[in-house]
Amino acid sequence: MSVEAREARQPWILLSPALTAVALLLFVPLIFIVIYSFWLRTATGADEVGFFLDNWQEALSDAFYRDILLNTLKIAAITTFVCAVMGYPAAYFIARAKGNKVILLLLLMLPFWISYIIRTMSWINILGVSGALNSALIWLGLIDDPIQMLYNETTVILGLVHFLLPFMVLNVFVSLDGIDTNLEDAANSLGATRWQAFLQVTLPLSLPGLAAGGLLCFVLGAGTYITPLVLGGPSDAMFANLVFEAIITQLNWPLGSALSLMLLAVLGALVLIYNRYLGMAQLMKGLG
Amino acid sequence: MSAVTLNNIVKRFGNFTAVHRSSLEIAEGAFVTLLGPSGCGKTTNLRMIAGLLDPTEGEILIGGKRVNDVPIHKRNLGLVFQNYALFPHKTVAENVAFGLKYRDVPSSDIPRRVQEALELVQLPDVGDRYPKALSGGQQQRIALARAIVIEPDVLLLDEPLSALDANLREDMRVELKRIQERIGVTTVFVTHDQSEALAMSDQIVVMSAGRVEQVGAPEEVYNTPSSEFVANFLGASNILEGKCTDIGADKVAIEAPIFGKLAIPAEKAPLIKGPGPAKLVVRAEKLQLSQSPAPDGVVSVPAYVETVDYQGQAVRYFVRAGDTQLQAINMIDGHPFAEGTEVNLLLRPQDCAALPG
C-alpha cells in the first residue's frame, strides 16, 4: 500500500469507534423513529405496520399541537433572552478577572456535577408551599398563609434559566476571552469612554459567542420535558412533554415519533439558519 | 515648556516595584525613546503616560497640566501597539475615523481627514478593506494613521516595529521618522532594539530594572555610556577593570590591563572625579585588528584570533590578549582573519570611555 493511501486511511481508522457509536446510537434509532412515524396504532392497542400518513396529518393539522409548539418556542426564546442578559455580565467578569479564571470557570461548572433533575427539584424546596421562601415570609409576618409560587410558566422559565445559564456564560466567555484587551485600550485612547468602547468594540466582537450560547440555550430549552414536568402546571406543557405523554403514557409510539420528528425539524432548521450565517465553528469553540 | 513631564514617578504592583522613583522631561516635538530589556519598566512608563496605569506616587504632566486624574479618553493621546490593535470588525476607513467621532469634527470633514491620514502613511487606496486583508506592515501604518488623525498632543508607540520582519522593520523605521518629523508631534517610543533607538531618537532614555540609567542624545549615550549596563546594552563593549591615576584639565589617565596607560579625553569620562578604581570601556568596533605596525598615537597590543563570527559586511572577532578575551567588530577589508592568526589590536585612546570603578 502506498504511503498516501495509508495516510488517507489513518483518520478513518482512528474515527471508526466514534463513527460506529454515532451510527448505532444516534443514526439507527433515528431511522427507527422515522419508520415508526408512518405506522398506525389501532384501537386494540397494537401497531399496524405500513405506510400511513395519519400521525403526520394529526400532528400537523391539530391546533392543539401547533399552539403548544408555539408556546414551547416562546418559552425557549424568553429563557434564551434572560440567559443572555444574566450571562453576559458574568462572562465579562470572568474574562476580565485578574486572578485565576480556571477557578471561576470551575465554579460555573460545579452545578453540572449534580443531576439536572435534582437541581430542578431543588426549586420545590425553595418556592414550594412549605419551602424556604414561604417559611421565611411567614416567619417575618409578611404573609399569613403560604403563597403558591410553583407550577406556572414563570417557574418553568426560572428552572430553564437555572439549567441553561452556564452554557450561555461559557460561550460568551470564550468569545470575550479571545478579544485582545488592547482593542479596548485603543478605543479609550481615541476618545471613547469605557462604555462607548464596550458598545463599539467588545460587544460586536463577542456577538458570535452570544449567538452560539443563544442557540444552545434555545435548542436545549425547547427540547426539555423535565423542567415543565417538575416545575410547570397542567397548562405549561412543552412540546417534548407531548412526546413523553404519547410514548410513555399512551404507548402510542407512531404518534410520538411523528411529534418528535416535528420538533426535530423545527430546531434543526434553526441550527441550519445559524450555521448559514455564523458557522458551527464558534459553537465548537464554546463546547471545547 | 515640556510636552510631557514625569515628576518623581513610582509604580508598584503589590510588592514588586516596576518603576523606581524617576523623573523625566520630554520636550515639545521631540522623539524620545525609552530603551531597555523586557521588564525594565519602559512599557509601564508609557502606559502611565497613556493613562492605562495609575502611578503609585508622583505626578504626570502633559502640556504643563497634571493629568493623574484625567481618564485616558480625555488625554488626547495617540497610542500605537505592537500587535496593531486594529478593530477587526471595522474597515480601514472606519478604524481611522474612530477617534474623530468623539471629537468636534463635522461629519462632512471626516472622510477628508481620513483620506489625508491614509495618504500620509502612503496607503490611500485601502479605506474600504478590512484590516485582516492587509499585511502586518500595512496594518501598522493604519494603526499609525488612526493614532495621528486625531492630532494628538503626544504620540505613544509601544514597540510598534517589533512584530514586523527584519527588512520591513528598517523601512518602517525610516517611514515612521519621516511622518513624525512632518507632523512634528511629540513622540514617546518604547523599544528593546538599540538600533531602532539610535536611528530614530532625538533623545534616548536607557532603563534597567525600573531605573533610568542614562538620558541623552543617541551619540552621547552610545559614545559616553554612564554605566556598565548602558555600555553593554547599546552595542558590544569590552569593559576592563583598571584605575584612574591622574586627572587633568582635558585628559584623564586610565591604567588598564592589556592596554596599559591611556590618556582619555575628559568628556569621555565625565563621572570620574579623581584618582581611584575605574573601568575602561572599549567599544567592540573601535578595536581594530591589523597585521601592520601601529600609526602614531595608536596603542598596539599583540593578540591572537580565537573565534570568527562572519556577518557579511562586518565580522565579529573574539580575540585573546594575555588571559583576557576581547570582542572586536571590524568591517571586512578583503578577507577576514582566520582563527588562530596572530594580530595586533589597535586602539586610539580618544575612542575609549571610562567609568568609575
pLDDT in tens, A178-204: 999 999 999 999 999 999 999 999 999
User: A192 vs B50: CB contact, 8 Å cut-off?
Assistant: no
Distance from CA of A281 to the nearest CA of B (A): 18
Question: Which region, left, alpha or beta, applies to residue B321 given φ > 0 means left and ψ of -120 to 50 means alpha?
Answer: beta
Contacts of B99 in chain A (CB under 8 A): 190-191
User: B85 vs A185: CB contact, 8 Å cut-off?
Assistant: yes
B 324-353 residues with CB < 8 A to A = none
Q: What parts of chain B have a pLDDT lower than 70?
A: 1
In a domain, A12, yes or no: no
In words, the CATH class of domain B2-223 is alpha beta
Residues of chain B with CATH 2.40.50.140: 236-356
Asked if B88 is an interface residue toward chain A (Cβ–Cβ < 8 A), one would say yes
A and B: number of Cβ contacts within 8 A: 67
Minimum CA–CA partner of A203 in chain B: B89
In a domain, A156, yes or no: yes
Distance from CA of B233 to the nearest CA of A (A): 29
Minimum CA–CA partner of A181 in chain B: B85
In a domain, A238, yes or no: yes
B 52-71 residues with CB < 8 A to A = 52, 71
Quick check: A288 pLDDT over 60?
A: no
Report residue A286's pLDDT band, with 50, 70 and 90 as the boundaries: low
In words, the CATH class of domain B236-356 is mainly beta
Quick check: A279 pLDDT over 50?
A: yes
Residues of chain B with CATH 3.40.50.300: 2-223
Q: What is the pLDDT of residue A283?
A: 64
ipTM over the 0.90 cut-off: no
Instruction: List the one residue out of B351, B355, B282 whose CA is nearest residue B319.
Output: B282
Asked if B50 is an interface residue toward chain A (Cβ–Cβ < 8 A), one would say yes
User: A196 vs B102: CB contact, 8 Å cut-off?
Assistant: yes
CATH of the domain at A153: 1.10.3720.10
DSSP string, chain A: --HHHHHHHHHHHHHHHHHHHHIIIIIHHHHHHHHHTTSEE-TTSPEEPS---HHHHHHHH-HHHHHHHHHHHHHHHHHHHHHHHHHHHHHHHHHH-SS-HHHHHHHHHGGGGS-HHHHHHHHHHHHSTTSHHHHHHHHTTS-SS----SSSHHHHHHHHHHHHHHHHHHHHHHHHHTS-HHHHHHHHHTT--HHHHIIIIIHHHHHHHHHHHHHHHHHHHHT--HHHHHH--GGG--HHHHHHIIIIIS--HHHHHHHHHHHHHHHHHHHHHHHHHT-THHHHHHH-
Range of the domain at A76: 63-287
Q: Which of A189, A199, A203, A206 to mutate to test the interface with B (most CBs of B within 10 A)?
A: A189
Distance from CA of A195 to the nearest CA of B (A): 11
- pTM for this structure? 0.84
Quick check: A287 pLDDT over 60?
A: no
Using CA atoms of B211, B212, B213, B217 in order, give the dihedral in degrees to the nearest 10: 160
In a domain, A87, yes or no: yes
User: B75 vs A189: CB contact, 8 Å cut-off?
Assistant: yes
Task: Please count the other Cβ atoms lying within 10 Å of the Cβ belonging to residue B139.
Answer: 23
Q: What is the pLDDT of residue B322?
A: 85
Q: Are A134 and A146 in contact (CB under 8 A)?
A: yes
Asked if A16 is an interface residue toward chain B (Cβ–Cβ < 8 A), one would say no
Return the minimum-mean-pLDDT range out of A68-77, A85-94, A95-104: A95-104
Q: What is the pLDDT of residue A6?
A: 87
Domain count, chain A: 1
Cell numbers that stand for A230 in this block: 417538575
Measure CB to CB from residue B99 to each of A182, A191, A194 and give the nearest one: A191
pLDDT in tens, A123-179: 999 999 989 999 999 999 999 988 889 999 999 999 999 999 999 999 999 999 999
Q: What is the pLDDT of residue B274?
A: 86
